[in-house]
Structure 1
């Protein structure tokens, strides 16, 4: 009888550990899925081909700066480097750095 009680207690403890470990795993999976979704939502913006609306999605870039980027691109040709964005009036190095991860040529 003592062996049965000990076995039952051990079995219950083991099962509860597995359940809580499963909860942590599913929580970690949910966090990972959210991160993947937000990364895919942060779409890559090509500064040579994007529209005003697409450029306006960048951090710190509103419609007027987006228009300035398109006008600069039309007047001076395609950007050869992302850093050339600082040549656009109202766009500084800090703004470029904030967005660098999602900018492309």
Structure 2
């Protein structure tokens, strides 16, 4: 029993040391600047303000070429979208389609 307890204690120390050294290495050192991570669009996202009808149709679930062309036509007539939810104003596009494709879309 002592041997297994000692073994568990050693593993705990080793893991704790690894976590501690990782934290120390990641800490800011004097004289160094720390990088700030900027949020970037996820890979596979399509811009509703820049994509062609073909790009929208291929990227969006439940959107064919006809609905994608309606999005492009709306954008050309009324200007760029200011919010993803504004897609509801396009004939044939409802809340369910926007929710289903929210992670695939960007402005």
Number of residue pairs aligned between Structure 1 and Structure 2: 65
Match of 2:63 among 46, 61, 64: 61
- Greater per-residue helix proportion: 1
Runs of 4+ in 1 over 6 A off after TM superposition: none
Unaligned runs of 5+ in 1: 1-38
Question: For the residues of structure 1 that align with 2:51 and 2:79, how far apart are their CA atoms?
Answer: 14
Measure how far apart 1:96 and its partner are.
0.2
Question: For the residues of structure 1 that align with 2:49 and 2:98, how far apart are their CA atoms?
Answer: 15
SS for the counterpart of 2:77 is helix
Match of 2:81 among 79, 82, 104: 79
In structure 2, the residue matched to 1:30 is none
Measure how far apart 1:47 and its partner are.
0.1
Question: Does 2:92 match 1:90?
Answer: yes
Measure how far apart 1:102 and its partner are.
1.2
Aligned CA-pair RMSD: 1.2
Unaligned runs of 5+ in 2: 1-41
Q: When the two structures are superposed, what TM-score results if normalisation uses the length of structure 1?
A: 0.60
